[in-house]
Structure 1
């Protein structure tokens, strides 16, 4: 029976290659992929990720080949991304503590969350969170996504996160303990050296944020704690780390390898790679 992969995309823009890399690896293995966005809105690629002449400021070179730009545009223009699942419709929202009938609402929330998680876990073998600048806006601090991540982790099912999508792993944590799921884990992600100083943009809004609103490396170093580690691998072309159940990818060039590593986890029981 073919594997089923749930792929979460931002509604504010994903990086083309960071979707193409894993998806092409999954397609080659006959996996079935289903897409999900925060509110069921169709995801779109960030324009620079479709431009082979775009120069990445920190790296000082183009990061998208002509062939990859063509493949990313073909996927973005296809019907595959139409009609994604809605995270907001499938995962309930935790009530405010100021709710008039908080106890009853909290009981209902936990009941509905357990049912939703069971349904999703029954339908998918792995979770993928695609990167780009968009996740900064609607994935990093999305509590519904946090609950989805927690459910997959508790079920011992692998979770792949790329680039700024890794932030959602750092912020996913048990409501009572408040410790990050990444505590004690080894991960990679966008290092400080590769962060923009200007030009962080999004799909659907005319807004140049300048630099990213937070240095992901610092968040990941704090989240992994003294018994884990962040691996930026600055100066190395590829940075992918597997510390089961997590597969983390630093940025664009790591996407193909990240997809291949998830396949190794699913088919060959890989538990550690890249550190």
Structure 2
């Protein structure tokens, strides 16, 4: 049985971006194990449970009745209860100014190596998008180390929408080079970014537009020999440049799951470019 580690934000994930790949994994008998940054139960963003939700930049409905219903079902059900607590699993890297920094770094690397051994039980990593990841996933050093662990094991790493930023920021401490340098990826295009209304669960904060344009980050991170693919105007934009599988937005969700199965079952290494 294949086993997938699924990372969800505690500040809201987009329902279809979980349901789409999860349904595919379930159909193939894969086991999905859920994890959040501090072990709190995750919940879907309200617009992703609202059938008929109209997306302002796309000028169309992006939440249909099927995915709204399925999202409400998983949001209210028991499946997401008791996720793995990332903060108690992977170690925190010490501050440079800490006392006995060199010894603490040695402990950090040794502990991380032991955690990486535990990742051998998984076949793939999935990071689900939505606005929530902006708060507790994108600049999460422990999650960066999970990504680096899957990369060191040459295992599939999947990211959707704004969670793709995690790939751009996951870097080893010693060289600090982008792990997607020279790679082909997709992610939320500037044309599809909100001008207002970027909100989160568990807070009344409305950031207006997203705090950064993901497209620009990905263009810089993949340069000079890689490429960002926005696929603006096209229904889907799903890019596989192994070990990275990235989906632009909600409409890619099921395709992301189907492509992941092709990787895990048939050794697919390139798709979408």
- Using the size of structure 1 for normalisation, the TM-score is 0.98
Instruction: Please show how residues 152-163 of structure 1 align to structure 2 within 5 Å.
Output: 152-163=150-161
SS of 1:30's equivalent?
A: coil
**Shift of residue 176 of structure 1?**
1.4
The aligned counterpart of 2:102 is: 103
Aligned to 2:87: 88
Instruction: Map 1:188-199 onto structure 2 (within 5 A).
Output: 188-199=186-197
Alpha-carbon distance in structure 2 between the residues aligned to 1:272 and 1:116: 29
What is the alpha-carbon distance in structure 1 between the residues aligned to residue 106 and residue 142 of structure 2?
17
Q: Is 2:169 the counterpart of 1:167?
A: no
> What is the distance in 2 between the residues matched to 1:230 and 1:248?
11
Q: Relative to structure 2, which stretch is displaced further, 61-70 or 25-34? A: 61-70
Aligned position for 1:11: 10
- Partners of 1:255 and 1:108 in 2: how far apart? 39
C-alpha separation in 1, matches of 2:261 and 2:163? 19
Partner-residue secondary structure (3-state), 2:125:
strand
Give secondary structure in 2 for the equivalent of 1:6. Answer: strand
Gaps of 5+ in 1: none
Equivalent residues in 2 for 1:130-141, closer than 5 Å: 130-141=128-139
Structure 1 equivalent of residue 269 of structure 2: 271
- Report the aligned-residue RMSD: 0.6
Structure 2 Cα separation of the partners of residues 233 and 104 of structure 1: 47
Q: Which residue of 2 aligns with 1:204?
A: 202
**CA deviations over 1:73-118 (Å, ceiling 9, x no partner):** 1111110100000110110000011111111111111111111111
Q: 5+ residue gaps in structure 2?
A: none
Matches within 5 A, 1:112-191: 112-119=111-118, 121-191=119-189
Partner in structure 2 of residue 45 of structure 1: 44
* TM-score, normalised by the number of residues in structure 2: 0.99
Runs (4+) off by over 6 Å: none
Counting matched residue pairs gives 273
